[in-house]
Amino acid sequence: MKVVVRAFARFREVIGDVNTLDIPEGSGIQDLLIALAARSGESRDLLFDEEGMIRDNIIVMLNRRRLARTAFALTVLSEEDEVAIYPPVAGG
């Protein structure tokens, strides 16, 4: 299935603005982050720490609703979902 991944700020500079990823049915947010990390060493370092844990400063929105970190492992993605990945915000 295809999902759209959008990245912003520092994450956009590494991952790219908009990506369409083809991932297996039943994949979750964690699987998506692993797929993104596999694309380059820089992506991996951005998303995962040395112990392979998802970094603390990653914020994920699914279809423009923010996901709690505890939901990363539980959320199953669907065809055409829009996932946004970004660092802590700094507007205002």
Partner 1 sequence: MITITEEDFNSGVLIDKARDRQVGGIVTFTGIVRDDGITAIDLEAYREAALQELGAIRDEALSRYDIRSVDIIHRIGTLAVGDHIVLIVVGSPHRKDAFRACEYIIDRIKETVPIWKKEYTADGSRWVPGEHS
Binding site for partner 1 (CB under 8 A): 6, 8-10, 12, 56-59, 61, 64, 66, 84, 86-92
CB of 85 to partner 1, least distance (A): 10
Q: How far apart are CA 63 and CA 17, in angstroms?
A: 16
> What does DSSP say about strands 59-62 and 82-86: parallel, antiparallel, or unpaired?
antiparallel
Q: Which long-range contacts (CB under 8 A, 24 or more apart) does 36-44 make?
A: 36/5, 36/85, 39/15, 40/14, 42/14, 43/14, 43/15
CB of 18 to partner 1, least distance (A): 11
CB of 2 to partner 1, least distance (A): 19
By beta-carbon proximity to partner 1, the closer residue of 23 and 59 is 59
By beta-carbon proximity to partner 1, the closer residue of 37 and 54 is 54
